[in-house]
Structure 1
Amino acid sequence: MKRILLTFLAGTVVASFGNLSVAVAEPTKPECLAGAKPGGGFDLTCRLVANSLLASKEISTPMAVTYMEGGVGAVAYNHVIGKRGKDGNLITAASSGSALLIAQGKFGKYDETAVRWLGALGADYGVLVVSSDSPYKTLGELVEAYKADPNSFAIAGGGAVGSQDWMKGSLLAKAANQEPKKMRYVALEGGGAVLTALEGGHVKVGAGDAAEMAKHHVAGKVRILAVMSDKRLPGELADVPTAKEQGYEIDWPVWRGYYVGKDVSDADYNWWVAAFEKLTKTPEFAKERETRGLFEFTKLGADFDAYVKEDVVRFKALAKDAGM
């Protein structure tokens, strides 16, 4: 009895629901670490949960958002592993880009097994875009034209060689049975620069993300030929077919998720998983996700952990095929 009382007073009571143990007590100092400067994708990912967890009353204490730039998340990854591996208050923002960099060995000596993957709560999706006056109206037409004369196609993306946008372009090259490493890729600073290059006729194809390109597609400034998702996206892009609809196995979800330290207790880990599961069912979260231009994509706990590890394997294969 004394042991139960002491445990209760310490605020770490654990209730068992089936095979899942869930910590009753919420983190006392919730914090989300963004591995970059304020304003980028990691910041967006942290703000998504920081705002909606408080608004939906899943947490009673505001979540702090902190920043640690370097290596597109690599410095934060190494910091969590080396310094805060047991900290159950801390979650860290991640994305499919994190899995891609891990697959390429760009997070240093640590691989995807060095942390506990918590969950993904939203996603954007890759798209292939051409200018509004482009002669190509379908992905099939673009693939055939690329196959006939790959050297005449400059493909622009908002990232360096080996980035997600480069990988999206490589999928076009592969669909045309061409070597991705020979692709004429133009590395630009973000999606805005890609749009400018397309509109100016400097490149023929742009690789980007659906949320960023949608309004320009609707305005008639560019034409999205395919979205890299399993099914059509809602809203402004409902008229745009997927690559799979057009006969090409091209899939690129840009998920937004979180991880915790490897040594975080099962009770703390399961508390976050349960909180995220409840959060995704609230109107407050749905509003935040929509405001931030993300589409529905939820994977939690063990399912997400397995998904990330499968992503890393897939990205390793893509990088090898692309000659990286």
Structure 2
Amino acid sequence: MTIRAWLLPLALLLAAQAGAEPARPPECIVPAKPGGGMDLTCKLARKGLEPVAKLAQVNPALRISYLPGGIGAVAWNSVLSQRRAEPDTLVVFSGGSLLNLAQGKYGKVSASDVRWVAALGTDYGMIAVREDSPYKTLRDLLEAIKRNPSGISIGAGGTVGSQDWLKVSILAKQAGGDAKSLRFVAFEGGGESFTALLAGYVQAVSGDASEAALHAASGKIRVLAVMADKRLPGPLSHVPTAREQGFDLTWPIIRGVYMGPNVPDKDYRKWVAAFEKMMAQPAFEQLRAAHGLYPFSMTGDALTAYVNHTVDDYGKRAKELGLVR
């Protein structure tokens, strides 16, 4: 074979390789702006997958992108309309996402329209004020709201019917107030709510414990109550529960990821197995705690059944509150 004959196929091979697009890393979509619990969930997945990636045959270098709007509705509809079969696209969801889904805020869709991959942990509701606020306890705040409901602005993720709205509404009702008179300011996630609180645009925030834990270390906020069965470990360990203060309310919030409905089963099962391996690692418990989440692990078919039951239950509660017909 002449040198020229040998070089020709080599040149063709190099040209083909040069024209080929490099494989895109898997993507984790945050359906909110940076800085909140949804953002933390993607970052937990990226960090947690690193030690098991080779064994699970997945790329751990998750590319995090942000697609806020409609408290998850924009991301949901983007996946259903444009990214139905992408094998390496994950989208974060929370208990609030399931509540919005149950109330029809994502349109005429159902929980069966996507593939539920994994729940990585749970969070809990909380109520916070600025450190210099005159309200020292949850009862202090609720009594002030009862006296002058329009005089206290409450930052919340979402509008009427969102989980942040429901938490305060239920507490206000238990305190003898009128939930319909509450003054809410809607934001796209916890990051915006806390920014508004620190700037003095709102006087209180209804949000999640993981988000509050990020700000608590600065000493600029005071968490008045967590909505868990017992006090939480970590930076909020000193914060009493709502029940300790005489209000019967707990509010667990699972966090996890889903995929498009037409993702091939082999790719879906690959990611389910990857997250199962990730959460089985002894070090994952500490990593999850560092991201402000508490134990709750569920994947694949079991998670799908859990989500379907939860959405159905939320739908019944929403009807009882007159939020849906």
TM-score (norm 2): 0.72
Aligned to 1:181: 180
In structure 1, the residue matched to 2:26 is 31
- Per the alignment, do residues 156 and 50 of structure 1 end up closer, same or farther by CA in structure 2, a change over 3 Å counting? same
Residue in structure 2 matched with residue 309 of structure 1 by the alignment: 308
Question: What's 2:108 paired with?
Answer: 109
Structure 1 residues 70 and 140 mapped into 2: Cα distance closer, same or farther (>3 Å)? Answer: closer
1:40 CA drift (Å): 4.8
Residue 5 of structure 1 aligns with which residue? none
1:46 matched to which residue of 2? Answer: 42
Q: Which runs of 5+ in 1 are unaligned?
A: 1-27
CA distance in 1, matches of 2:215, 2:27: 32
CA separation in 1, counterparts of 2:184 and 2:285?
A: 36
Measure, in 2, the Cα distance between the counterparts of 1:132 and 1:309: 40
The farther-off stretch of 56-65 and 238-247 is 56-65
Q: How far apart are the structure 1 equivalents of 2:179 and 2:217?
A: 30
1:94 aligned onto 2:93: yes
Secondary structure of the residue aligned to 1:293 is coil
Alignment size in residue pairs: 292
1:194 partnered with 2:201: no
Counterparts in 2 of 1:72-151, with a 5 A limit? 72-132=71-131, 137-140=136-139, 142-143=141-142, 146-147=145-146, 149=147, 151=149
Distance in 2 separating the partners of 1:284 and 1:186: 39
Residue 3 of structure 2 corresponds to none
Which of the residues 62, 65, 68 maps onto 1:67?
65
CA change 1:118–1:132 in 2 (3 A) is same
Counterpart of 1:229, as a letter, is: A
CA-to-aligned-CA distance 1:242-292 (integer Å, 9 cap, x gap):
223444332223332111233445554443333212211325544543443
How far the C-alpha of 1:165 sits from its partner, in A, is 2.7
| CA offset digits 1:86-139 (Å, max 9, x no partner) | 444333222223223222322222222211222211233221224556665544
What SS does the aligned partner of 2:99 have?
helix
Q: CA deviation at 1:222?
A: 4.0
- Between structure 1 and structure 2, the one with the greater Rg is 2
Residues 31-78 of structure 1 show CA distances to partners (whole Å, capped at 9, x for unaligned) of 234154773544443332233212333445344426362534323323
Within-5 A mapping of 1:246-285: 246-282=245-281, 285=284
Which residue identity does 1:53 align to in structure 2?
L
Matched with 2:238 is: 239
How far apart are the structure 1 equivalents of 2:135 and 2:171? 14
Indicate the larger mover: 294-303 or 28-37.
28-37
Q: Matched residues in 2 for 1:104 and 1:87: separation?
A: 27
Relative to 1, partners in 2 of residues 1:317 and 1:195: Cα closer, same or farther, differing over 3 Å? farther
8 A Cα contact 2:28 2:42, kept in partner? yes
Q: What's the % identity of the aligned pairs? A: 43
Q: In structure 2, what residue type is equivalent to 1:49?
A: A
Residue type of the partner of 1:31?
P
Contact 1:139 1:226 in 2 (8 A): yes
TM-score, normalising length from structure 1?
0.72
State how far apart, in whole Å, the 2-side matches of 1:273 and 1:98 are.
20
Write the deviation string for residues 194-228 of structure 1: whole angstroms up to 9, x where unpaired.
Answer: 24438xxx63x432322333465566544322101
Task: Give the letter for the 1:154 counterpart.
Answer: I
Q: More helix per residue: 1 or 2?
A: 2
